[in-house]
Copies of this chain bind each other. A is one copy, B any other.
Amino acid sequence: MGRPEMSGEDNLLRLVEAEDGDENNYHLQDQVGFILRKAHQRHVAIFASQIGDLTPPQFAALAKLHDIGETSQNQLGTLIAMDAATVKGVIDRLKARGLVEVSKHEVDKRRLLVNLTPEGRAAIERLIPLARTITEETLAPLTAKEAATFLRLLAKLA
């Protein structure tokens, strides 16, 4: 401390002057939300460098359809964590590219069934190995042990 007779008022003053002693300052770069946003940005950039013609949400939709087969647009949205408005846009674009096809549910006329086309199936099967590379590259700054810890904790937050 520079001044031995430092008082509460001096601390307030120091805060207002904000020249030194900034332990009470708010630092954006230490906030979990900000770092989470940046980590996500970096991942999306890595994804784009490996899979240029598909976005992560589009990939997620195809991968889930490949995993579970035909399902309703609404159910698909739940499974890949997208609200109804978002999933509609994603499916519309995949449909326009011939990677998925939609049909009406025979019994429940509210539902729109979505399924992979043969082209969509071929595409996702070709891309899954690249997805593993993307995961590896995203986690590359961590050791194997750190990566395992990170994934475990991240899953608790998601």
Contact = CB atoms under 8 A, between A and B. Distances in A.
Counted per complex, copies of this chain come to 2
A4 interface: no
Nearest to A80: B28
A135 B63 contact: no
A150 to B, nearest CB: 4
Interface residues of A, number: 55
Contact of A41 (B39, B67, B81, B132): B81
A2 B153 CA distance: 24
A131 B56 contact: no
A138 B153 contact: no
Contacts of A67: 24-28
